Structure 1
Amino acid sequence: MTSYILHGFFLLGALVNISCNKEFDDGNFVPDYDVVPKYTNTDIDEAYKAFNEHLYDPVRKIYLRDSNKPQAVGAIWTQAVYWDMAMNAYKRNKTPENLKRIEDLYEGNGKQYANYDWTNDKEWFIYDDIMWWVISMARAYEVTGDPKYLAHAESGFDRVWYGVPGLDPGSYDTEHGGMFWDWTFGRVGKMSCINYPTVVAAATLYNITKKEDYLNKAKEIYQWSSDNIYDPLTGRIADSKHGNGSPNWTLHVYNQGSAIGAATELYAITKDAKYLDQAVLMANYTRDVMSAPYAILPSEPSEEKGIYTAIFAQYMIRLIEVGGKTEYLPWLRRTIDYGWSNRDQARKLTSKNYLKKVGTDEVVSCYDASGIPALMLLIPSIADQ
């Protein structure tokens, strides 16, 4: 057993109540560290092809909710993550087909969601739904150079920050700082899923435009988050904070990921080591505590949470690349190896429980199927090196 698996697991696991992996922790699974095959570059291509074959609607140009091809499509915010995957596929292999998918997904989601009219509160009624798309729009501009993506990103960011007259006052709390999650339900909660993505969006827009206001906003919201929903002793990220009460310390992989991404982007811009140190602490907590006892990223039951690994992948690769933290690669590759080995061999679909075989007739959601292909598109195979 390699040393990275042992590092900190049993010490920290004894001190922290680990809930994320409880569905694995039934006493029946004994991981074999030697015989699970290592995924290859061919496997990466197969995994992404299968994800699209079974979950992408080529007519509507949007991702379906389930593999049995119902009319329902995946949740609005998750479609931005699938668009990120398409961009990552293109960056990995710059084929005309991969480039076309980027434009097709923009077109299909635009038809589905009010042509990205951020003021349409029938489609866009939660701040973080918009902000995930703002991030992806900015990335699309970085990848393609198409100005329409930057225009959407900037208008979406302003809409979230400042609000819409007669509709809502915006996500930003001008009195106490931080970002509210919603306006529809009372504008009461400040969730990690809006605060850290706001930092990522602002930092990305600063990189593109060099407008200091974006960097100032990124620093401010990151500092509020550090003061309110971050544990500096362990690196864990709270799910939310409501009012002046204590944070809700429910843990989610995607919150760890977006916080890592926020810290890493600010480190990349400022070179201030405190950001890198915090990103490392967050990543270590995810690896050493949340991924215990099997050194595999955890899954969570219930709807939409299967996509958390795909989001985490997007930000961990930035820490690895920007911070030079290649020590995280064995853990992430191990997660991929187990998830891919347990795929449905016929359809090549994976699911969110990486330690359980996917049944041949099992209906798999776009959320659950996304994690392993998303990781594969970003984490290079060791088998081909």
Structure 2
Amino acid sequence: MKTLRGARALLHSSFMAVFLLALIVTGCKKPALTPSSENNLLATGNVVSINSVQPVKSEALLAMQCYNNAFYHEYGTYGPSFKAYYYSDVNHTGRMDFWRQAEAIETLIDAYNTNNNADLKNKIVYLYNGMRDNYGLLWTSNIYNDDVIWGALMCIRAFQITNDGGMKDMAKNNFDMVWNRAWDTNLGGGLWWTTANNTKNACVNAPAAICAMYLYQATGDAAYKTKAQQLLDWMVLKLYTAGSGEVKGAMNAAGVITEGTRTYTQGTFIGACSMLHPYYPSNNYKTMGAKAMDYTKNSMCNAQGLLPDEYDNDDCQGFKAIFARWACKFVKDHSYQSTYAAWLNYNAAEAWNYRNSNGLMWGQWWHRTPDNYVNSFETTCGVAMMNGVWQF
């Protein structure tokens, strides 16, 4: 796929130089969009052709820049550095809440890993400083264990870029806090979703497994690797459906499944499988990750392979960004390009095709993004997908 993309990028290099200049000068604005049917995307059932048009790499960077133009806000100094946050929407009505802010920063990390852009790296640091400034170092007051894990995961991924020991410590200390208050042997293990201990959810257990693996890599402490395996094995036993690859969302204290699957439950389970497989190759994790990819593609998407809208409330609207992040890493790390690249490229292309006049993409990748209002969580989806496909 890199060869195909490289050829396309070369063919369009002159066009893109003019295009990028025009969009940056005009605040990422663009004219009305052409429907995706005119892109001649080929599909049969849920199998999208490898000839599907995907955004070139410079467009992936531009998408992140357009996002930052709309939502990024520096609000002062932080020691010798600066502090920043993302606004919650285009009207700048306040900062994003805790977990969405963490996920927006993860999207920025994705873009940096794809583009190695110095401005993006600086913004990661400033946004991290903003999280420290607003929420402190240890997030014990947050009753949502998944929120704390999302924040810890953001910190440890930022540490990989900056080698800032404060980021590593924040990730470690908050992960440890959640483990100590949320892991028990009820239901055979697993982390409780909140401090009320009512349900054990995929949205805390799968990202915690990923976070634990990053902590193991950063610290060399094998206890984190063991915890990651315990978390994933609990999910396999309680929330994963072996026959289909579906990952259920939650189980209550009585052992009853209370939530169905979402793109982010599939994605983080895939991410956990991807990271644990090299350390436990006989545990079938890679096969289970592929099965979860297949379920998402064949049972959650439309006939052309487009990922679903998740708009039942505003806490769901950015879920596809999380799926994109870990699905694309899975493809890269385990050489599944021939199986999944065309499908993921198609989703990236559709998101970008329907951007608004400021270059923003909401989470409904089949019609045009509104110009008058979008929020900063739903608009992470397209950015994460566009940059994710350039990981492989």
TM-score bin (small chain): 0.7 to 0.9
Query: What secondary structure does 1:190 align onto?
Result: strand
TM-score, normalised to structure 2, is 0.82
Q: Confirm whether residue 246 of structure 1 aligns to residue 236 of structure 2.
A: no
The secondary structure found in structure 1 opposite 2:254 is coil
Q: Deviations over 1:231-282 (max 9, x none)?
A: 1110101110002333135221000000001111110322236000000000
Give 1:315's aligned amino acid.
W
1:310-353: CA deviation from partner (whole Å, max 9, x where unpaired): 11122112211221111211111111111111111x21111111
Which of 117, 134, 137 lines up with 2:138 in the alignment?
Answer: 117
In the other structure, the counterpart of 1:81 is: 103
Question: Is the counterpart of residue 64 in structure 1 residue 80 in structure 2?
Answer: no
Residue deviations 1:121-162, cap 9 Å, x none?
1xx221010001111211122222111111111111110011
What is the Cα-based RMSD across aligned positions, in Å? 2.0
- CA shift, 1:31, in A, is 5.1
Distance in 2, Cα, partners of 1:359 & 1:138 = 34
Q: Which residue of 1 aligns with 2:155?
A: 137
Of residues 308, 328, 342 in structure 2, which corresponds to 1:330?
A: 342
**Alpha-carbon distance in structure 1 between the residues aligned to 2:155 and 2:99:** 12
Specify the SS of the correspondent of 1:139.
Answer: helix
Which residue pairs with 2:172 in the alignment?
Answer: 154
Residue type of the alignment partner of 2:365 = Y
Cα deviation digits, residues 292-314 of structure 1 (max 9, x gap): 22311112112121211111122
SS of the counterpart of 1:268? coil
**Aligned sequence identity (%):** 23
**Matched residues in 1 for 2:106 and 2:229: separation?**
24
Following TM superposition, by how much is the alpha carbon of 1:33 offset from its aligned partner in structure 2, in angstroms? 6.1
CA distance in 2, matches of 1:140, 1:204: 11
Matches of 2:259 and 2:370 in 1, distance apart? 34
Instruction: Kindly provide the CA deviation profile for residues 340-383 of structure 1, in whole angstroms up to 9, marking residues without a partner as x.
Output: 11111x2111111100112332x10111111011111221299x
Give the direction of change, closer, same or farther, for the CA distance of 1:348–1:76 in structure 2 (3 Å limit).
same
CA contact (8 A) 1:54 1:67 kept: yes
Structure-to-structure mapping, 1:11-50, within 5 angstroms: 34=40, 38-50=54-66
Structure 1 outlier segments of 4+, above 6 Å: none
Letter in 2 for 1:157: F
Distance across 1 between alignment mates of 2:209 and 2:192? 14
Give the deviation of 1:87 after TM superposition.
Answer: 2.0
User: Is the partner of 2:390 in helix, strand or coil?
Assistant: coil
| Preserved CA contact (<8 Å) 2:85 2:101 | yes
Cα distance in 2 between the residues matched to 1:255 and 1:148? 29
- Matched residue count: 338
Task: Return the letter of the residue paired with 1:328.
Answer: Y
2:315 counterpart of 1:304: yes
Pick aligned residue for 2:118 from 90, 96, 109: 96
> How far did residue 95 of structure 1 move?
3.3
Asked whether the equivalents of residues 41 and 381 of structure 1 are also in contact (C-alpha less than 8 Å), the reply is: no
Instruction: Give the letter aligned to residue 125 of structure 1.
Output: I
Per the normalisation by structure 1, the TM-score is 0.83
Q: Residues 55 and 63 of structure 1 are in contact (CA less than 8 Å); yes or no, is this contact kept in structure 2? A: yes
Q: Are the counterparts in 1 of residues 146 and 204 from structure 2 also a CA contact under 8 Å?
A: yes
Matched residue SS, 2:116: coil
Runs of 5+ consecutive residues of structure 1 not aligned to the other structure: 1-28, 163-169
5+ residue gaps, structure 2, are 1-34, 42-51, 76-82
Normalized per residue, which structure has more strand? 2
In the other structure, the counterpart of 2:376 is 366
Q: Distance in 1 between matches of 2:218 and 2:199?
A: 30
Partner of 1:313: 324
